[in-house]
Amino acid sequence: MMNIQLLVDLGSTFTKVVAIDLDAVEIISRTQAPSTVDVDVTIGLREALNKISDAVDMGSLQVKDSLACTSAAGGLRVVSIGLVPELSCEAATRTALGAGAKVIGHYSYELTREEVFEIRELSPDLILLAGGTNGGDKRVITHNAKMLADCRSLESCIVVAGNKAARDDLGEIFKNANQTVRFTQNIMPDIGILNTDPCHKVIRELFLDTIVKAKGIANAKTILGGVLIPTPVAVLTAARLLAAGIEGDGLGELIVIDAGGATTDVHSIAEGSPAEGVVTLGMLPEPYVKRTVEGDLGVRHNMDTLLRLAKERGIPINNNFHEGIEAFSSISALPQNETELNLDMILASVAVEVATERHAGKIEVFYSPAGKILVQHGKDLGNVKCVIGTGGPIVFSAEPGRVLRKALYSAEKPDILKPKHSKLYVDKEYILYAAGLLAQVDPGRALTLMRKYLKEC
Amino acid sequence: MQEQITVITGTVGWDAHVIGTKILSRTLRDAGFKTVELGIKTPPGDFIKAAQETNADVIMISSLYGMAEFDLKGFKEKCIESGIGDTLLYIGGMLAVGKHDFKEVERKFKELGFDRVYPQETDLSEVIQHLKEDLQRKGKRISR
């Protein structure tokens, strides 16, 4: 009798299930079925589960013990609100990204009526309301809370993570509000400190209890048992585990690049501290686990942007590509011939290159009486030892190594602090999200699984 | 009701030129201001913390080593976030290296959010006069 674990990803396009043999720690089967979130999420889920039970002797395995993540119905859509754009507003955005969110808007200073109207139209799943260090400014967060509470037709969940000195006043303001409101610790308790963990915990709970219900995917819980996390959280969990290992046996600092149809995401698990002789001036410290999402670099949704960027970078663009572009108009389309493969390779390469350039830190030079001063903005990823690629356009590429090399340091742009000597790995079997799910209950096997299936390229 | 006006003084960053800030502090005190002296080599964040704690009306930064612009990037934004966005910000000294056009230096620091910017050689009675005017504009009166 095999010891099996099912891992489920309720995506916006496909519901994927992978079955892992926990004794041998290997993939024994994987299936997928079109997602049916618009109608009833359980239809597609049942279909995918039925397929897997046809393929695998489930024995006494309970589907209820599956672990699942989801990016269906737009993922976790968040609006972040803060006081100063570069401080609490940016802190809120980073915190949301670290919680697996897609940040669909950010606002700073006092909200205007028009902005509140805009937020209502955006209809985010969650609003992260920050502002003020502890003991710092109370006026703006109080104003913004009032504006949100007064908008009765705004139904988003609100997480309040600002100046603790405003907590009681805000409690009063939200007492009779229409929205589900949760209070947590300040994400920026002082200048230069980012405190994301308590806020992440609250977002996770809200996602599970309230947001999946609003999104119409709560029914999945009746089949799958309890826990459902946002897919990016599963990927982040996997990346963090892979870097740390169980007893210091991890790969060390690393980057995971997920090139997708709608966005290209970069995750760095790295200190990113400045090299000797370089100083930082940052307004906000950089998180050890950092995730950025490039909404204009989706290899299906943003082909025009990517081809324009490719041209600017002197990459030759074949005239036959317009056919390929048509073929790729569906987000799940895979390349069918050499032209399309070539096109996909260019799209993915540019997405990887630009997304890592934006994620990595930069060096700025100042001149002083004592000579040059090198100032670092963002994380120095120069010493990162591993770059891991996932997402169709990288995984299915004929030469994933060529695509991933674009994530590395380039002598042409010495001011951008990308990895200098990294090994490159490809997530051939799409195991990262699954390993992240498994890591919640069995980090040891999750690590083994990744070690087995990530291929150096 | 009259209130005692509190001023924070010090040099910022790695600047160790103590004379300017000492004379300034002494002059302010003689003019009846409560003066909180942070002394030399004060990190920008410490000015903010001291201002929060003492509910200061003004922060007066001295800098003679030409690096103040570099030290004070984002200073005003940090003040706003810390709830002291209304605190007056004054700076004086040798604020840039190799730039002799003070107007240009003044423009730069005003852009950074400073209310008053002074060159290296400044008559402190002029500073005190400006301070009184600025406080008055904010509806604050000075007690002695």
Q: Are strands A264-269 and A254-259 parallel, antiparallel or unpaired?
A: antiparallel
Checking phi first, is residue A173 left (phi over 0); if not, alpha (psi -120 to 50) or beta?
alpha
Give the A window 263-302 contacts with B, CB below 8 Å: 281, 283
Minimal CA–CA distance to B91: which of B124, B111, B119?
Answer: B119
Range with the poorest average pLDDT among A75-79, A335-339, A370-374, B13-17: A370-374
pLDDT digits (tens, 9 = 90+) for A392-411: 889 988 899 999 999 999 99
> Would the CB atoms of A83 and B70 count as touching at under 8 Å?
no
Which of the residues B17, B46, B130, B134 is marked catalytic?
Answer: B17
Task: Count CA within 13 A, CB hemisphere, residue B130.
Answer: 16
Which two structure tokens, joined as six digits, stand for A67?
Answer: 């672990």
Mean pLDDT of all residues in chain A?
92
Residues of B in contact with A188 (CB under 8 A): 81
> Would the CB atoms of A132 and B83 count as touching at under 8 Å?
yes
SS3 at position B71: helix
Are the beta carbons of A455 and A35 closer than 8 angstroms? no
Q: Does A88 touch chain B (CB under 8 A)?
A: yes
> Distance, in angstroms, between B104 CA and closest chain A CA?
17
pLDDT digits (tens, 9 = 90+) for A244-270: 999 889 999 999 999 988 899 999 999
Are the beta carbons of A116 and A143 closer than 8 angstroms? no
Phi, psi dihedrals of residue A251, rounded to the nearest 5°:
-80, -10
Searching chain B, which residue's CA lies closest to the CA of residue A283?
B74
The residue among B14, B78, B81 with the most chain A CBs within 10 A of its CB, best to mutate, is B81
Is residue A1 over pLDDT 70? no
Q: Residue A38 class from Cβ within 10 Å (0-12 exposed, 13-18 middle, 19+ buried)? A: exposed
Give the A window 47-86 contacts with B, CB below 8 Å: 83-84, 86
Distance between CA atoms of residues A433 and A435, nearest Å: 5
Binned at pLDDT 50, 70 and 90, residue A229 comes out as: very high
Nearest CB neighbour to B80, from listed A84, A188, A369: A84
pLDDT digits (tens, 9 = 90+) for A94-142: 999 999 999 999 999 999 999 999 999 999 999 999 999 999 999 999 9
Q: Does A371 touch chain B (CB under 8 A)?
A: no
Examine the residue annotation and report whether B15 is marked as an active-site residue of this protein: yes
> Would the CB atoms of B81 and A132 count as touching at under 8 Å?
yes
Distance between CA atoms of residues A389 and A266, nearest Å: 10
Residues of A in contact with B15 (CB under 8 A): none
Q: What pLDDT score was predicted for residue A55?
A: 86
The residue among B12, B52, B82, B99 with the most chain A CBs within 10 A of its CB, best to mutate, is B82
Checking phi first, is residue B63 left (phi over 0); if not, alpha (psi -120 to 50) or beta?
beta
Distance between CA atoms of residues A51 and A182, nearest Å: 40
pTM given for the model: 0.90
Q: Residue B144 class from Cβ within 10 Å (0-12 exposed, 13-18 middle, 19+ buried)? A: exposed
Checking phi first, is residue B8 left (phi over 0); if not, alpha (psi -120 to 50) or beta?
beta
Nearest CB neighbour to B67, from listed A131, A135, A368: A368
Binned at pLDDT 50, 70 and 90, residue A413 comes out as: very high
**CA of residue A251 relative to chain centroid, distance:** 20
Binned at pLDDT 50, 70 and 90, residue A282 comes out as: low
Distance between CA atoms of residues A179 and A156, nearest Å: 6
> Distance, in angstroms, between A390 CA and closest chain B CA?
37
Q: What pLDDT score was predicted for residue A221?
A: 84
Angle between helices B124-137 and B18-30 (to 10 degrees): 60
pLDDT digits (tens, 9 = 90+) for A303-329: 999 999 999 999 888 777 787 888 887
Searching chain A, which residue's CA lies closest to the CA of residue B86?
A137
Q: Does A191 touch chain B (CB under 8 A)?
A: yes
Amino acid A277 reads G
Residues lower than pLDDT 70 in chain B: 1-3, 99, 142-144
Distance between CA atoms of residues A219 and A240, nearest Å: 30
Distance between CA atoms of residues B19 and A368, nearest Å: 22
Minimal CA–CA distance to A379: which of A235, A304, A269, A305?
Answer: A269
Q: Helices marked H in B62-114 — which ranges?
A: 68-71, 75-81, 102-111
Nearest CB neighbour to A137, from listed B73, B74, B85: B85
Nearest CB neighbour to B81, from listed A83, A368, A375: A83
Minimal CA–CA distance to A101: which of A196, A16, A37?
Answer: A196
Mean pLDDT of A423-436: 95
Task: Count CA within 13 A, CB hemisphere, residue A60.
Answer: 2
Q: What pLDDT score was predicted for residue A223?
A: 87
Q: Does B70 touch chain A (CB under 8 A)?
A: yes
User: Which residues are A278's β-sheet partners?
Assistant: A374
CA B120, B124, B129: angle at the middle one, nearest 5? 125
Q: What pLDDT score was predicted for residue B1?
A: 43
Q: Are strands A4-10 and A14-21 parallel, antiparallel or unpaired?
A: antiparallel
